[in-house]
Chains A and B, each alone.
Chain A
């Protein structure tokens, strides 16, 4: 029997580039001439959501927090096959770190209806933290399973899935609703289609601002952030280095020994 899942996918629009460049003077990302795309990791989340819908029926809602221009990322997701896009956008959300972002996203997901599963990419190519998904779970009080590599089944309000760990693969069962972050092993994301693209052009993207959420602005954006970006720079590529091989435990011991040896600790 098909369940009919309410699937929510969180995506972020990022600059399309393999080499993110910063303006050394201002510390800002150089965006001129760089196209904005769906964070490549989030495409795996979209693929996971679409496959779940294909198997179990239901609806795939895609949600993104960002400036008004991020609407295009939502349309791109609809062109891939998602049913609906919601833009979370307000000046007071600007400058948010992962804590404020995850809080804002969690509230807007609550506002936008019931969900069975929230799917996030592993991390973003611009922020690279991998924190937003798990933090959202904390705000929502739902279980979170990260590094999911395969969804086995959804049955009787329970999901079984596999996740990759450093030293093996774990098979887990969890109750719905929950949040997962998926790795690239879930399967190659599909391309958008022309029919999808035409549908996406016509799609109405609803916007959630703080007017709808009614939160204290102090909890949002830069004011609601516990971390501060003090400096942004492009790391110089390192030459040399030492490669240590072994099991995670052996590696931890080796690193500990190294840190002691070099009197860092």
Chain B
């Protein structure tokens, strides 16, 4: 299939749709649109187009569909699997102007937002009125559109689930330019196939989200965090299972190694309460009642101590919790500052996390890399930072690919999956078949064909 260059005709038509100033060939815009946060080499688009409305997105898609120009929708480009890379050039459709929070509906507990609204901005806006948008994928500069397209999870998935559980409705522009509304402000909906659920996590391959209605919950009044140092990662992972078994309902159970703690301390130039133990758990608890919070906090802390934690540090004021979260969330940036690495965001059944972590040393030794697991231990999502230890570029890339491949096989053997929340995008696309098998890949390709018969929207993604 041909993906022609942007000729004068297409350019003139794009300018007629969004205005000349929103059609950019500038080096700066092209460079920015060439990458996301994956280590993938840049893929420059031919042009960056910045629509301001769904109608403009629709007109662009109509044109692209007619001219067979590939289109990749982009938000904040914080993805980690290359899903927003314009692999075949074409149009990078930057939604950056569509970043407004349109409505906070306190009666229905919902927010209506544009796709480029930042997750952080949504959090702040709804929390101002005592509401809560639970998905918290750590990358605060990520956009809601991107979160929907990767079904992002993050720190609070343990208690609240992933983005999917909080998307009520979407306005989507199809590759043909048709605009569809899926879902609604209804709590229950069994009306045909759920295209809503199909679109969530589709990594920008089926349609372009131009508006999203998000479900909100009341914000818990009291929260606290525990930071518990352990003598081994295995002990920490055991404590995770026990905390769940004891019916504490933490909203977060995060695992950090000493390596991760030291890396964050170096990055933030600030000490965490302890950095001399091999493993750490951060446990987040919340409640509307102070006494219930206290019970949860003490139970979780006691479980940590029973499972070998030397003690459990408690962050109970808002400021102390903010600092602790800031440290946890800085892990990704810290590693990217000091190391050359890529990440496999494996997700295994929660109970298998200790086994999975025990097996990392074997992969490290086999491929001569360092693997630092940092993870949402409570939901089984273990982010494996694979760090370069040396060798030539070629050796490193081979070692990296081989390590990722082995980690995925380990995960699948334990009933786990390839990607918990980053998605397959471009960098992990070859692994889809290992998880779902050829039949399901064919079904997915069939679905893609129905939505995008000409294959112009975000081609080359998800499967190899």
Which of the 9-residue segments A173-181, A185-193, A208-216 touches chain B? A185-193
Q: Determine whether the beta carbon of B319 is less than 8 Å from that of A16.
A: yes
In whole Å, how far is A226's beta carbon from the nearest beta carbon of chain B?
33
A56 CB contacts on chain B under 8 angstroms? none
Q: Determine whether the beta carbon of A191 is less than 8 Å from that of B314.
A: yes
Q: Which of A40, A194, A197 has the most CB of B within 10 A?
A: A194
Q: How many angstroms from the CA of A194 to the CA of B304 in the assembled complex?
A: 10
Q: Determine whether the beta carbon of B270 is less than 8 Å from that of A188.
A: yes
A191 CB contacts on chain B under 8 angstroms? 227, 273, 313-315, 320
17 A–B contacts from the bound complex (CB under 8 Å):
A16-B317, A35-B318, A40-B319, A191-B273, A191-B313, A191-B314, A192-B314, A192-B316, A193-B312, A194-B226, A194-B297, A194-B298, A194-B305, A194-B311, A197-B301, A197-B314, A198-B298
Q: Mark B295-336, 1 if CB is under 8 A from A, else 0.
A: 001100110110000011111111110000000000000000
Interface size class of B (residues with CB under 8 A): 20 to 34
Q: Which 7 A-B pairs have the closest CB atoms?
A: A194-B301, A194-B312, A191-B313, A193-B311, A192-B314, A191-B273, A37-B317
A76: nearest residue on chain B (CB-CB)? B316
Question: Which residues of chain A in 7-48 are interfacial with respect to chain B, using CB atoms and an 8 Å cutoff?
Answer: 16, 35, 37, 40
Is the C-beta of A220 less than 8 angstroms from some C-beta in chain B?
no
Q: How many angstroms from the CA of A223 to the CA of B267 in the assembled complex?
A: 53
A16 CB contacts on chain B under 8 angstroms? 317-319
Q: Determine whether the beta carbon of B314 is less than 8 Å from that of A194.
A: yes
Interface size class of A (residues with CB under 8 A): 10 to 19
Q: How many A-B pairs fall under 8 Å by CB?
A: 44
In whole Å, how far is A149's beta carbon from the nearest beta carbon of chain B?
17
Is the C-beta of A263 less than 8 angstroms from some C-beta in chain B?
no
Is the C-beta of B271 less than 8 angstroms from some C-beta in chain A?
yes
A189: nearest residue on chain B (CB-CB)? B320
B297 CB contacts on chain A under 8 angstroms? 194, 197
In whole Å, how far is A77's beta carbon from the nearest beta carbon of chain B?
13
A197 CB contacts on chain B under 8 angstroms? 297-298, 301, 314
B319 CB contacts on chain A under 8 angstroms? 16, 40
Is the C-beta of A195 less than 8 angstroms from some C-beta in chain B?
yes
In whole Å, how far is A121's beta carbon from the nearest beta carbon of chain B?
15
Residue of A37, A40, A188, A193 near B314 (CB, 8 A) is A193
Q: How many angstroms from the CA of A89 to the CA of B55 in the assembled complex?
A: 67
Q: How many angstroms from the CA of A195 to the CA of B228 in the assembled complex?
A: 12
